[in-house]
């Protein structure tokens, strides 16, 4: 895994601009866009431009980019004026991961229960 774009990956297509998305922030290494099926008033996905199947694989291969996801998550929350927010990395299909390109969910703007269910 060298982070190369995958032809069959939805989020690689969003990075390439081949599928439209409501982009809220972009950096050299990341893109942040609104989730198509939002679970909270703010529901933004922060993804690396490189392709790894999940956040842990990204962290193992490119730790500085994994840290960028966390910094950008905070920037997204600040732009939406969130005092509190949740950052979620679903990892594995049993945990609800459906897109196998690393991504952070940034959720906020409503009360949060723990655990999320």
If the CB atoms of residues 11 and 33 are measured against Zn ion, the closer one turns out to be 11
Select from 25, 8, 17, 87 the least CA-distant residue to 55.
87
At 8, list the tokens.
Answer: 């069959």
Q: Which partner from the list ligand 5GP, Zn ion, none does 51 bind, CB cut-off 5 to 8 Å by kind? A: Zn ion
In Å, how far are 23, 65, 75, 80, 117 from 31, measured between CA atoms? Answer: 7, 11, 12, 16, 27
Binding site for ligand 5GP (CB under 6 A): 10, 21, 33-37, 45, 90, 96-99
* Segment contacting Zn ion by CB under 5 A, of 34-42, 48-56, 65-73, 91-99: 48-56
- 51 catalytic per annotation: no
Nearest approach, Cβ of residue 77 and ligand 5GP (Å)? 17
Which residues in 10-39 contact Zn ion (CB under 5 A)? 11-12
């Amino acid at each position: 895994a060298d982070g190369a774009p995958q032809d069959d990956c939805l989020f690689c297509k969003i990075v390439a601009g081949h599928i439209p998305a409501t982009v809220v922030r972009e950096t050299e290494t990341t893109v942040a866009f609104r989730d198509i099926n939002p679970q909270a008033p703010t529901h933004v996905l922060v993804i690396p431009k490189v392709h790894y199947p999940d956040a842990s694989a990204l962290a193992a291969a490119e730790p500085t980019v994994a840290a960028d996801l966390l910094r950008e998550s905070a920037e997204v929350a600040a732009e939406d004026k969130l005092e509190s927010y949740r950052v979620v990395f679903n990892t594995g299909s049993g945990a609800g991961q459906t897109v196998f390109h690393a991504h952070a969910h940034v959720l906020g703007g409503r009360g949060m229960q723990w655990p999320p269910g």
